[in-house]
């Protein structure tokens, strides 16, 4: 890993490069990476200003837990208007993750709860270490989701499961998280980052326009009517295939110089 030129975003978030993969680390470990205003701004800033050489990113948390969610010490006597703008700050920051320039792989361990689960839901691929557990304790705290969870989580897991987690405080372990599709990969403790980096380096080798279409067009098409979606699909695929890199890749396959698709190992 090249840590010669770490790009600092101010205190709670670190960015380092591993070749053409950016590693973004949430590091407020004394507070279990609970997210206060400074942290959510630093997260958004980190993804909005990734080094130009980054073609994929990994998001990870320092310490024993990925993220304990909203920093509850900030709630205090917040008015409705202040809470509204606070929630919108989270929305903007997480938009910079979900609809940023490069795909993001989250590496999860320990608590992934409340706003921490909303953060994970803004990434594109999730790897969980065995220690991971998921929860939405907003019900117990007398608050509600405010970091995009109501919009993003139902596109990953069922509304009935989210309802159960919020009403009863049910938590899921890593194996259950894999079973319900909350994460796509499950790894032994201590091996999540290596897997996340392996996946991110595979992603970084794709044509950038394909990655962009997958992260920006696919989820939006999924939210459209079929008629609108099919038109946007045709327009997106025509732009993606027009890139010189796409043409070179197809020629390489036809000339027998590209890898074939293989069944899973």
70 and 28 Cβ atoms separated by less than 8 Å: no
Within 8 A by CB and 6+ apart from 132, the residues are 66, 108, 109, 110, 112, 173, 174, 177, 183
Q: How far is the CB of 46 from ligand 1HE (least distance, A)?
A: 18
Q: 3-state DSSP call for residue 88?
A: helix
Q: How far is the CB of 99 from ligand 1HE (least distance, A)?
A: 18
Q: Give the residue nearest to ligand 1HE (CB).
A: 114
Whichever of 48 and 83 has its CB closer to ligand 1HE, that residue is 83
CA angle 112, 196, 131 (to 5 degrees): 35
Q: Any contact of residue 26 with ligand 1HE (CB under 6 A)? A: no
Q: Is 227 a catalytic residue?
A: no
Whichever of 144 and 253 has its CB closer to ligand 1HE, that residue is 144
Q: Which stretch binds ligand 1HE (CB under 6 A): 27-35, 172-180, 194-202, 237-245?
A: 27-35
Q: Any contact of residue 43 with ligand 1HE (CB under 6 A)? A: no
Q: Is 7 a catalytic residue?
A: no
Q: Which stretch binds ligand 1HE (CB under 6 A): 144-152, 157-165, 170-178, 201-209?
A: 144-152
Q: How far from each other are the two terminal CA atoms of the chain, in whole angstroms?
A: 27
> Mask 111-140, x = binds ligand 1HE (CB under 6 A)?
x-xxx---------------------xx--
Q: Any contact of residue 13 with ligand 1HE (CB under 6 A)? A: no
47 and 97 Cβ atoms separated by less than 8 Å: yes
Q: Any contact of residue 151 with ligand 1HE (CB under 6 A)? A: no
Tokens of 65: 């837990």
Instruction: Report DSSP letters for 153-184, one per residue.
Output: GGGTS-HHHHHHHHHH---EEHHHHHHHTS-S
Q: Any contact of residue 44 with ligand 1HE (CB under 6 A)? A: no
Determine the Cα–Cα distance for residues 127 and 187; give it in Å rounded to an integer.
7
Whichever of 114 and 192 has its CB closer to ligand 1HE, that residue is 114
Q: Any contact of residue 71 with ligand 1HE (CB under 6 A)? A: yes
Q: 3-state DSSP call for residue 238?
A: helix
H-state helical runs in the chain: 37-48, 80-98, 115-121, 138-141, 149-152, 159-168, 174-180, 192-204, 208-212, 218-222, 226-242, 244-254
Q: Any contact of residue 56 with ligand 1HE (CB under 6 A)? A: no
Q: Where in the sequence numbering do the catalytic residues fall?
A: 118, 138
Which positions lie near ligand 1HE, rule CB under 6 A? 31-32, 34, 64-65, 68-73, 90, 111, 113-115, 137-138, 141, 143, 145-147
């Amino acid at each position: 890993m090249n840590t010669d030129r770490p790009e600092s975003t101010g205190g709670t978030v670190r960015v380092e490069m591993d070749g053409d993969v950016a590693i973004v680390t949430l590091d407020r470990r004394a507070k279990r990476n609970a997210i206060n205003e400074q942290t959510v701004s630093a997260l958004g800033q980190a993804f909005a200003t990734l080094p130009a050489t980054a073609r994929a990113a990994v998001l990870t948390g320092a310490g024993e837990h990925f993220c304990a969610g909203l920093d509850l010490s900030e709630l205090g006597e917040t008015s409705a208007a202040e809470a509204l703008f606070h929630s919108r700050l989270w929305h903007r920051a997480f938009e910079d993750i979900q609809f940023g320039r490069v795909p993001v792989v989250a590496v999860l361990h320990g608590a992934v709860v409340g706003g921490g689960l909303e953060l994970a839901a803004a990434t594109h691929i999730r790897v969980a270490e065995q220690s991971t557990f998921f929860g939405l304790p907003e019900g117990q705290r007398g608050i509600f989701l405010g970091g995009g969870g109501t919009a993003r989580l139902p596109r990953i897991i069922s509304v009935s499961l989210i309802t159960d987690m919020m009403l009863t405080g049910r938590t899921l372990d890593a194996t259950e998280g894999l079973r319900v599709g909350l994460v796509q990969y499950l790894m032994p403790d201590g091996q999540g980052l290596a897997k996340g980096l392996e996946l991110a380096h595979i992603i970084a080798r794709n044509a950038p326009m394909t990655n962009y279409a997958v992260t920006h067009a696919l989820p939006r098409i999924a939210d459209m009517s079929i008629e609108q979606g099919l038109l946007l699909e045709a327009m997106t695929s025509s732009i993606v295939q027009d890139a010189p890199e796409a043409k070179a890749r197809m020629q390489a396959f036809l000339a027998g110089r590209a890898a074939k698709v293989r069944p899973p190992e």
